[in-house]
Structure 1
């Protein structure tokens, strides 16, 4: 059996070789992202593995013509794939899971950096301003942290938070018994009103689109910090900028942002930044922005490659496939 792998990165090479041997599968690899023009490269495979490439109707038509019947994205999110049209064509889609520690640890780092004003401290230190003015932070043990979304990553964040002695609130449509040992489930309004830090760990769905918008931002404390390591579409960026500029919110730490596609994972030094909202947020002293790197650890990359291969194999063999979404 062969699997065609698009967008092969250098950091994935050793893992691709390792798991190809372990699962005795042939991998047809290319560094090129999947497009309608190179979909024929997958002609000998019924399954393909991709990363975050937009998979539009045109790409799906080309894949179908090439005989592909299963797309595995080496990411948790799969909103870059037109799943409705894929289902119409009879092409199935799967995502992957990876170590929740990667994003959970990064989330804790952002929370600590935001509450200790680390962006300002580092900026001042670079110009040898070692004064304490404006550098006073807050201690987590005195704060309430609201975790929105208690799936694998949200639960791991909550477990990490228990070591800091803070009060933890949680919100999810599906409550977890394990979470209840450490946090109190509340409705979203209560969480927003009472939390000093709100951290988002929800998937990108139509229902969750702009769940943090003007109305919900107004419910938050004026010195609260919003942390987003989930999906950019969870937050109405324009409303967030208005709240920050109007000093109705204490700050934000964002690893994801709306319209990041085409920017993140590219070297854009000395080029105009084609996202004004991102440029504004980067300039604010109380906003931390990182380029969707919370997931990026050696273990997570290994998991992404391995689980994508396992997902393609399960589909091909007609076995139970925990990653198949359609």
Structure 2
């Protein structure tokens, strides 16, 4: 958000004149500008949007990876999806990590110690390999232990910079790893990419009802803002023993799991990925699970799901 959109005499928690909450939030009570803000007279088109739309002309497909709650393996899935796309040397892939307060993508991809560099054409992504680039706030922190304590406007400003200032070059796929829930970051990405177009969203859940409840809200969010839902992935769908390869349930799907939810909400069930402890190990060491453990049932599940995502997106 442009700092000029916050009046100099605004209260400390001013949502900003461009916000939907302008003039309506509790912080606006008693502010001299409340009536003007609430009327909508202060809202002007965001000047960043044409710049973002121009920058995104070189990106063929834009896919959001969403989850209703944290801890369901969303970022890990994003990384595996990117590695699978980039396995084809002719496919250029990028990941934009907009999980501002929990940027785990650099660690999962083994590039946490790297830094972003600027050039005449903008910020340069950090490259895992020649055809896989990444942009994350994690590259900008002095230490991986540093907390990101930002209010909404600052988060929105960074996402705007990622979209308009990063020189992605020609990309076949841009994967956007989002934080859990439906908050500022999600609305900002949708707003800024509205003209450039979003090809769809992949939703990640685990089998238990507490996760499915939050995914229902995510489905509702996508439908309200007009994002096409590519499908639903059920992570941690069972436990695979690395030695005997047998599978057992850790999170029992007491209400039918992701497959039933997909049927109830009329979206495609892309598949289920069993929990293999080596997935976590691969993420800790920043290596591709698909390459390291091709014999795992989880690897085959990932590959089947990823192939289906490519089919759906490439047809759209």
Query: Normalising by the residue count of structure 1, what TM-score does the alignment of the two structures yield?
Result: 0.31
Query: Normalising by the residue count of structure 2, what TM-score does the alignment of the two structures yield?
Result: 0.31
Larger Rg: 1
